[in-house]
């Protein structure tokens, strides 16, 4: 790690950026979790499928904006796999200046003149009104104290009829609710003290912790709550897709038989709308009306 940092420090004057890039490279070198990779891959292709579906409704040259794009990796992939479908101008925005710096380095290396990066807040986008055909926001809204402000800002920059694709954790995840139900019972028995619970019998604190408050998730909502917010802010819901049954990780990597069983039922659950809540995440396609 020190050798990587020393080399980057010689290249970049800003030591903070060199440190961030070092951490990024080291993380890429870590042994991956195959179950966690499945979780992200399933969600990536769900977004890609919705993106391809939205292309049919827009002109030959599209302005595509990704809010919270990190270093722009998804933009570079989309620019490659969809290059024969339409002509694109991709705009990547993230509040992290170092991520934008890294994105511009990658862009320069690949000579992608149709890709642009800019540091910007999701609730105050540095983009002209009604200039975007498709807006993608992955794993962003749950980090915002007032996600409805971001949705209104997304609406401002989208053209009439423009497409919005969002991914976010699902607060109504059945597996998390069952898990926390038994946690709350165990906690009650241990403390010999009945704690206040919701009608479902699940501690709201446990729900928040399990769904990911530790990851900075402060606005985790149910599918119906997101649909209501979107409709209020001037969107028409076109499609709702479930994510993976589990997030994955080292614990699931050790349970190969159980994970194999979950994979077997995933395709069945995907085709049954009533089972959308058997999912860690939700992916929504909406249109600005």
When pLDDT is cut at 50, 70 and 90, the band that residue 205 belongs to is very low
Torsions phi, psi of 112, nearest 5? -90, 90
- Residues 253 and 33: beta-carbon distance below 8 Å: yes
pLDDT in tens, 16-27: 555 555 555 555
Decide: 284 and 251 in contact? Cβ < 8 Å.
no
| pLDDT for 272 | 80
Q: What is the pLDDT of residue 21?
A: 54
pLDDT surpassing 90 at residue 158: yes
Higher pLDDT: 1 or 253? It is 253
Residue with the two structure tokens 């165990």: 186
Q: Token pair of 275, please?
A: 């089972």
CA torsion angle for 34, 35, 41, 44 (degrees, to 10)? -140
Beta bridge partners of 112: none
Q: Take residue 78 and report the two structure tokens written for it.
A: 């989309």
Of 286, 288, 174, 287, the closest CA to residue 240 belongs to 286
CATH architecture of 36-170+221-288: 3-Layer(aba) Sandwich (3.40)
Question: Where are the extended beta strands (E) located within 158-208?
Answer: 158-169
The answer to whether residue 6 scores a pLDDT higher than 90 is no
Residue 15's pLDDT is 57
**Chain CA centroid to CA 249, Å:** 17
pLDDT at 26: 52
> What average pLDDT does the segment 268-275 reach?
80
Mean of per-residue pLDDT scores for the chain: 82
Query: What's the pTM value of the predicted model, to 2 decimals?
Result: 0.80
- Res 55 pLDDT > 70: yes
Among all chains, which residue has been given the structure tokens 């609730």? 123
Q: 142 falls in which pLDDT band (50, 70, 90)?
A: very high
User: Quick count: other Cβ atoms within 10 Å of Cβ 122?
Assistant: 21
pLDDT at 28 over 70: no
Give residue 109's pLDDT: 81
Rounded CA separation 254/262 (Å): 14
Q: Other CB atoms closer than 10 Å to residue 244's CB: what's the count?
A: 23
Q: How confident is the model at residue 208 (pLDDT cuts 50, 70, 90)?
A: very low
Residue 85 confidence (pLDDT): 85
What's the rounded Cα separation, in Å, for the pair 273 and 2? 50
Q: Where in the chain is the domain with CATH 3.40.50.150?
A: 36-170+221-288
């Amino acid at each position: 790690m020190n050798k990587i940092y020393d080399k980057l420090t010689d290249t970049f004057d800003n030591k903070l950026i060199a440190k961030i890039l070092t951490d990024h490279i080291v993380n890429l070198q870590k042994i991956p979790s195959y179950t966690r990779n499945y979780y992200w891959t399933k969600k990536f292709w769900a977004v890609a499928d919705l993106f391809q579906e939205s292309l049919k409704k827009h002109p030959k040259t599209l302005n595509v904006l990704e809010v919270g794009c990190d270093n722009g990796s998804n933009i570079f992939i989309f620019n490659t796999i969809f290059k024969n479908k339409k002509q694109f101008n991709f705009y990547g925005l993230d509040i992290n200046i170092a991520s934008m710096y890294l994105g511009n380095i990658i862009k320069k290396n690949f000579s992608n003149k149709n890709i642009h990066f800019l540091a910007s807040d999701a609730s105050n986008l540095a983009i002209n009104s009604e200039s975007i055909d498709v807006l993608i926001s992955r794993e962003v809204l749950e980090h915002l104290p007032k996600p409805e402000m971001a949705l209104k800002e997304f609406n401002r920059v989208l053209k009439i009829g423009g497409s919005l694709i969002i991914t976010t954790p699902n607060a109504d995840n059945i597996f998390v609710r069952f898990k926390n139900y038994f946690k709350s019972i165990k906690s009650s028995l241990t403390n010999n003290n009945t704690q206040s619970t919701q009608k479902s019998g699940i501690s709201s604190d446990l729900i928040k912790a399990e769904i990911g408050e530790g990851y900075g998730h402060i606005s985790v909502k149910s599918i119906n709550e997101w649909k209501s917010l979107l409709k209020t802010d001037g969107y028409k819901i076109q499609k709702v897709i479930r994510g993976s049954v589990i997030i994955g990780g080292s614990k699931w990597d050790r349970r190969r038989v159980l994970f194999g069983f979950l994979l077997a039922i995933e395709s069945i659950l995907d085709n049954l709308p009533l089972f959308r809540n058997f999912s860690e995440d939700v992916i929504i396609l909406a249109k600005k009306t």
